[in-house]
């Protein structure tokens, strides 16, 4: 039996279309089969046979989740407090196991738990305090600018002695305490 005229290209085209469809859908079908029979991955272990998943790793995860918007601020605060305590306990236990008797807590862990300011946060606050601000444009990138680089307005200064804002261009003395200002 002979094929009708023009049927050969139709058969070849259909075969190519089915092959392409199989090629495109095979990763999806393979992923579905893998999830049905997948076993949980064995937990990796460090050289000292300690599990990798620790409270420190959990702290990293919740920080990432908060930054990506997957975790609300209230949940983040609760989880951070809990995991910080667990991480501190893990660090103390690891240090006690490694070194024996005298267990000391690292300063950053104490600062977080005791409510004392974190050294990094304190450095950020000092840097932000030194940033000049324009009333219209906001913080300016130039730390020693007298005028805003965007709109040209005068950037007010503060008196080093009393903290009074100096709004007048070219002021030589503080209007609050009378201290001589730095010469411009």
The pLDDT tens digits of the residues spanning 39-51 come to 444 444 555 555 5
Burial, 83: exposed, middle or buried (Cβ in 10 Å; 0-12, 13-18, 19+)?
Answer: buried
Task: Return the pLDDT at 150.
Answer: 82
Burial, 51: exposed, middle or buried (Cβ in 10 Å; 0-12, 13-18, 19+)?
Answer: exposed
Task: Compute the residue count for the chain.
Answer: 184
Task: Return the pLDDT at 31.
Answer: 62
Q: Minimal CA–CA distance to 79: which of 90, 68, 91, 65?
A: 65
Angle at 152 between CA 146 and CA 155, to 5 degrees: 35
Long-range contacts of 142-151 (CB under 8 A, 24+ apart): 146/184
Q: If pLDDT is split at 50, 70 and 90, which confidence band does 52 have?
A: low
| pLDDT at position 4 over 70 | yes
| pLDDT at position 108 over 60 | no
Report pTM.
0.30
């Amino acid at each position: 039996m002979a094929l009708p005229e023009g049927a050969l290209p139709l058969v070849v085209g259909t075969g190519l279309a089915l092959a392409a469809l199989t090629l495109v859908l095979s990763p999806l079908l393979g992923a579905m089969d893998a999830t049905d029979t997948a076993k949980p991955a064995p937990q990796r272990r460090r050289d000292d046979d300690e599990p990798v998943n620790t409270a420190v790793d959990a702290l990293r995860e919740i920080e990432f989740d908060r930054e990506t918007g997957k975790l609300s601020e209230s949940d983040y605060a609760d989880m951070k407090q809990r995991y910080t305590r667990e991480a501190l306990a893990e660090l103390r236990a690891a240090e006690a196991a490694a070194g024996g008797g005298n267990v000391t807590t690292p300063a950053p862990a104490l600062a977080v738990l005791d409510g004392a300011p974190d050294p990094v946060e304190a450095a950020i606050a000092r840097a932000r305090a030194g940033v000049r601000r324009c009333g219209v444009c906001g913080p300016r990138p130039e730390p020693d600018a007298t005028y805003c680089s965007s709109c040209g307005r005068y950037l007010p200064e503060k008196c080093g002695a009393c903290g009074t804002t100096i709004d007048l261009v070219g002021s030589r003395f503080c209007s609050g305490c009378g201290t001589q200002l730095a010469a411009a």
